[in-house]
């Protein structure tokens, strides 16, 4: 039985009401696809997309977390249903010596969502995005037929990064990363300005599998901290442990984060970071520190947050520096400001990662002049040949989308062929005419 439910993304913006249904088996999906309502349907995982791609105002939303079977690992590959979370995958496979090939800053995402958004992580420069490690996926199409797609099929690359608009992903086979321990060896460098951050990050990419930088956009020079890390080998760290994978319950002060508190946090973080250091840290501490706090998005207040992430090509460093300076002058405070360097893209027509510099920022929606600022940043990104991340977007102007995504026309045409009845719809798809 479907229930009328108000849904938002993790940013808690742009709420919309839809019928929410949680199928318990793949067989339950086919009759739903063959008899959709006028507003169609969209699959949804754990709701960690910041914007509106897993919402469908007036239509049906399929909660896929009921499809959560994990097959055995064979020769480094595992086949799992779409509703399996990376959290559960890690809990079951890390003790056996395996790790997901790509993880974003939260493990509370499903495999289906990871494919649909073609998620990326701190190892993109070395390993690419999630879709690059999927060797097969099962897709239930608008005709009610489930097909197994491989990277040799163009529809595979329409689906990877396709935001759930080519059908319902029900299963995927993933190539895993072998590990020896549940620890990371993490090297840290403190940098006094943005140019130093970028130089150090470039060097770290050559030496480490996982890299990222925190940037203080409130500081005049754009100071920051760079991390480079690798999986610890036996002898460098002890045992496999899945501890530290649970969110901490308790009270979170709503609206705690603002310009003043973020300024204090940034100054404290920078001051307490050693110039250079090496540590052994648990997987969860390195990859997913915020997952230890349940519903940390409430810290931004009842009106939520906008996570704005873009990438500009290598060679567009001046555009990146101009954007950071414009953010500083606007006094817009971002709690999490993460800089990464991307390697080659996966081939997904709407996949976000492309070679270049990626910056992700979290802004409270109450930030004065935020809409105007982000519109101007969109223009700078587009002019430089970059793009914004659709999985996190809730406000991009549609006319900029073809400039940012050259594969858009091909995706739209293939979507029309695969789904002429527009069974698969979402708030994102309608807003941007995908």
CATH number (domain holding residue 113):
3.30.465.10
Q: Are residues 364 and 307 in the same domain?
A: yes
Last residue of a domain, one of 179, 207, 231: 179
- Inside any domain, residue 374: yes
Task: Check: pTM over 0.75? Answer yes or no.
Answer: yes
Beta strand pairing call for 60-63 and 41-44: parallel
Phi and psi, residue 131, nearest 5°: -60, -25
CATH of the domain at 235: 3.30.70.2520
- Please classify residue 264 by burial: count the beta carbons closer than 10 Å to its beta carbon, then call 0-12 exposed, 13-18 middle and 19+ buried: exposed
Q: Are residues 142 and 233 in the same domain?
A: no
Q: Are residues 236 and 287 in the same domain?
A: yes
- Inside any domain, residue 413: no
- Inside any domain, residue 4: no
What is the domain extent for residue 94? 65-179
Q: Are residues 117 and 202 in the same domain?
A: no
Q: How many residues does the chain have?
A: 434
Q: Are residues 153 and 250 in the same domain?
A: no
Q: Are residues 280 and 214 in the same domain?
A: yes
- Inside any domain, residue 272: yes
- Please classify residue 430 by burial: count the beta carbons closer than 10 Å to its beta carbon, then call 0-12 exposed, 13-18 middle and 19+ buried: middle
Residue 150 confidence (pLDDT): 98
Q: Are residues 90 and 220 in the same domain?
A: no
Per-residue burial over 199-233, b if 16 or more Cβ lie within 10 Å, else e, is: ebbeebbeebbbbbbbbbbbbeebbbbbbbbbbbe
Residues 6+ apart with CB under 8 A from 143: none
Q: Give Cα separations from 95 to 88, 181, 217 (angstroms).
A: 12, 8, 39
Residues 6+ apart with CB under 8 A from 173: 77, 78, 79, 134, 135, 136, 137
- Inside any domain, residue 400: no
Last residue of a domain, one of 179, 207, 223: 179
Number of domains in the chain: 2
Last residue of a domain, one of 179, 201, 229: 179
Residue 239 confidence (pLDDT): 46
Q: Are residues 76 and 108 in the same domain?
A: yes
Average pLDDT for runs of 10 along the chain of length 434? 88 95 96 88 97 97 98 98 98 96 97 98 98 98 97 98 98 98 95 96 98 90 94 71 45 53 62 82 92 83 92 97 94 88 97 98 93 98 98 96 97 97 97 96
- Inside any domain, residue 24: no
Q: Are residues 116 and 204 in the same domain?
A: no
3-state secondary structure 100-128: CCCCCCCCCCEHHHHHHCCCCCCCHHHHC
- Inside any domain, residue 412: no
Q: Are residues 173 and 231 in the same domain?
A: no
Q: Left (φ > 0), alpha (ψ -120 to 50) or beta: where does 162 sit?
A: alpha
- Inside any domain, residue 373: yes
């Amino acid at each position: 039985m479907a229930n009328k439910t108000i849904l938002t993304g993790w940013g808690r913006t742009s709420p919309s009401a839809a019928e929410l249904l949680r199928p318990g088996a793949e067989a339950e999906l086919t009759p739903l696809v063959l008899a959709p309502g006028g507003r169609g349907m969209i699959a949804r995982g754990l709701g960690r997309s910041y914007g509106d791609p897993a919402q469908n105002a007036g239509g049906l939303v399929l909660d896929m977390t009921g499809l959560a079977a994990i097959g055995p690992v064979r020769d480094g590959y595992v086949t799992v249903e779409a509703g399996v979370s990376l959290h559960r995958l890690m809990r079951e496979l890390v003790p056996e010596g395996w790790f997901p090939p790509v993880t974003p800053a939260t493990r509370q995402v499903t495999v289906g969502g990871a494919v649909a958004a073609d998620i990326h992580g701190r190892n993109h420069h070395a390993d690419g995005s999630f879709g690059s490690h999927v060797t097969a996926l099962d897709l239930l199409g608008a005709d009610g037929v489930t097909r197994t797609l491989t990277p040799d099929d163009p529809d595979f690359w329409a689906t990877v990064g396709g935001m759930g608009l080519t059908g319902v992903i029900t299963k995927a086979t993933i190539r895993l990363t072998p590990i020896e321990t549940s620890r990371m060896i993490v090297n840290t460098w403190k940098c006094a300005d943005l140019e130093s951050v970028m130089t150090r990050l470039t060097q770290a990419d050559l030496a480490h599998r996982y890299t990222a930088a925190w940037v203080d956009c409130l500081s005049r020079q754009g100071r920051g901290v760079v991390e480079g890390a690798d999986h610890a080998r036996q002898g460098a760290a002890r045992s496999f442990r899945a501890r530290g994978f649970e969110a901490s319950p308790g009270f979170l002060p709503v609206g705690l984060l603002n310009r003043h508190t973020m300024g204090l946090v940034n100054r404290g973080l920078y001051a307490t970071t050693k110039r250079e250091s090496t540590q052994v840290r648990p997987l969860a501490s390195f990859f997913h520190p915020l997952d230890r706090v349940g519903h940390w998005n409430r810290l931004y207040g009842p009106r939520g947050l906008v996570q704005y992430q873009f990438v500009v090509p290598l060679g567009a460093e001046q555009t990146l520096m101009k954007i950071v300076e414009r953010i500083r002058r606007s006094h817009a405070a971002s709690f999490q400001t993460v800089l990464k360097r991307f390697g080659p893209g996966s081939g997904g027509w709407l996949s976000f990662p492309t070679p270049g510099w990626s910056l992700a920022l979290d802004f409270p929606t109450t930030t004065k002049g935020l809409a105007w600022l982000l519109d101007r940043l969109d223009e700078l990104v587009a002019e430089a040949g970059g793009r914004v991340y659709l999985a996190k977007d809730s406000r991009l102007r549609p006319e900029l989308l073809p400039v940012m995504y050259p594969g858009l026309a091909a995706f739209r045409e293939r979507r029309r062929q695969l789904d002429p009845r527009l069974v698969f719809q979402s708030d994102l798809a309608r807003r941007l005419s995908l």
